[in-house]
C-alpha cells in the first residue's frame, strides 16, 4: 500500500513503525517532514484525500495533535489508537483513513501491532456502517 507517514519526533517507536512498513513492502512517503505537528497532520490528511496514498499514519508525543490536524482536512477520518482492537475497529466501523498514535506512550512492538491491525485487509470497512460514515459528511 501507499502510506503517508509523519512524526514530529523520532524514537524507537517511530523507527519500529517505519521498519515494519518497509519490511511489509509498503511504499512510504513523508510529506512536510521536519515541520510542526499541525502541518504534519494536515499534510498527511491532504495526501490521503488527494488520493496520493491509500492511508496516512501520524505520530506525535500524544498522537492527539496530529490526529486533530489531520481531521481538520475534509474527508479525513483519523483515529487515535493505542491497541490493535481500537485500530481494527476504526477501520471496520469508522472507515478510518488515517491512524494516529502516541510516539511516547506506545512501546515499539505495540505500535507495530496497532499499525498491522490498521492496515490488515481483513479489517476492511463493514458495509453496514456505510450510512453512518456518510453522515460524517
Ligand atoms: O504531542 C504533541 C501534540 O499533540 C507534540 O508532539 C508535543 O506537544 C510536542 O510538540 P512541540 O515539540 O512542537 O512542542
| 64-to-33, 74, 115 alpha-carbon distances in Å | 18, 17, 16
What tens digit of pLDDT does each residue of 8-41 get? 999 999 999 999 999 999 999 999 999 999 999 9
Indicate the average pLDDT of the chain: 98
What tens digit of pLDDT does each residue of 73-117 get? 999 999 999 999 999 999 999 999 999 999 999 999 999 999 999
Q: Say what the ipTM of the complex is.
A: 0.97
What the block records as the C-alpha cell of 53 is 496514498
Ligand 1 cavity residues, CB under 6 Å: 8, 36-37, 60-62, 64-65
Span from the CA of 19 to the centroid of ligand 1 (angstroms): 23
Which residues are known catalytic residues? 60
Span from the CA of 117 to the centroid of ligand 1 (angstroms): 25
Nearest CA to ligand 1 atom 1: 61
Give the integer Cα–Cα distance in Å for 86 and 73: 22
Beta strands in 11-131 (DSSP E): 27-29, 55-60, 78-80, 98-102
CATH of the domain at 29: 3.40.1400.10
Cβ(44)–Cβ(6) under 8 Å? yes
Q: What is the pLDDT of residue 35?
A: 98
Q: What pLDDT band is residue 50 in, cutting at 50, 70 and 90?
A: very high
List, as one string, the DSSP characters of 94-127.
H---EEEEETTTS-HHHHHHHHHHHH-GGGPPPG
The count of domains in the chain is: 1
Q: What pLDDT band is residue 69 in, cutting at 50, 70 and 90?
A: very high
Provide the residue range defining the domain that includes 78: 2-134
Amino acid at each position: 500500500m501507499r502510506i503517508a507517514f509523519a512524526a514530529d519526533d523520532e524514537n524507537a517507536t517511530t523507527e519500529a513503525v517505519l521498519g515494519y512498513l518497509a519490511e511489509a513492502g509498503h511504499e512510504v512517503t513523508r510529506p512536510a517532514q521536519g515541520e510542526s505537528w499541525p502541518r504534519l497532520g494536515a499534510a498527511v490528511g491532504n495526501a490521503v484525500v488527494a488520493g496520493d496514498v491509500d492511508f496516512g499514519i501520524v505520530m506525535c508525543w500524544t498522537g492527539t495533535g496530529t490526529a486533530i490536524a489531520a481531521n481538520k482536512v475534509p474527508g479525513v477520518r483519523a483515529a487515535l489508537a493505542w491497541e490493535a482492537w481500537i485500530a481494527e475497529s476504526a477501520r471496520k466501523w469508522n472507515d478510518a483513513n488515517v491512524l494516529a498514535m502516541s510516539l511516547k506512550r506506545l512501546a515499539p512492538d505495540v505500535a507495530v501491532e496497532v499499525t498491522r491491525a490498521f492496515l490488515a485487509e481483513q479489517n476492511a470497512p463493514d458495509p453496514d456502517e456505510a450510512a453512518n460514515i456518510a453522515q460524517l459528511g
